[in-house]
Amino acid sequence: MDPQIEALREHGYVVVPRFVSQGALTQLNETAREQLRARGSPLELEADLRYPGAPRSRADAGGGTVRRLLDAYARDPIFAEWAVTPGVREWMESYFGEPVLMSRAHHNCLMTKHPQYGSLTGWHRDIRYWSFQREDLVSVWLALGAETADNGALWLVPGSHRMTFGAERFDEAKFFRAEHEDNGVIIRKAVSPRLAPGDAMFFHCNTLHSAGKNLSDAVKFSLVYTYHGRSNAPLAGTRSASKPEVGL
Ligand SMILES: O=C(O)CCC(=O)C(=O)O
Neighbours of 145 (CB within 10 A): 18
What does the alpha-carbon distance between residue 54 and residue 63 come to, in Å, rounded to a whole number? 8
Residues with CB under 6 A from ligand 1: 111, 113, 121, 126, 152, 209, 211
99 C-alpha vs ligand 1 centroid, how far in Å?
27
CA nearest ligand 1 atom 2, residue:
211
CA nearest ligand 1 atom 9, residue:
107
Q: Which atom of ligand 1 is nearest to the CA of 119?
A: 3
- Asked if residue 152 has pLDDT above 90, the reply is yes
What does the alpha-carbon distance between residue 195 and residue 102 come to, in Å, rounded to a whole number? 23
Which pTM was predicted?
0.96
CA nearest ligand 1 atom 10, residue:
126
The 3-state DSSP class for residue 189 equals coil
Write down the mean pLDDT value for the chain. Answer: 96
Per-residue pLDDT reduced to its tens digit, 234-247:
999 999 999 999 99
Say which DSSP state 131 is in. -
Q: How confident is the model at residue 201 (pLDDT cuts 50, 70, 90)?
A: very high
Q: Which atom of ligand 1 is nearest to the CA of 51?
A: 3
Percentage with pLDDT > 90 across the chain = 95
Per-residue pLDDT reduced to its tens digit, 20-45:
999 999 999 999 999 999 999 999 99
- Asked if residue 1 has pLDDT above 90, the reply is no
What does the alpha-carbon distance between residue 134 and residue 160 come to, in Å, rounded to a whole number? 17
Per-residue pLDDT reduced to its tens digit, 51-73:
888 899 999 999 999 999 999 99
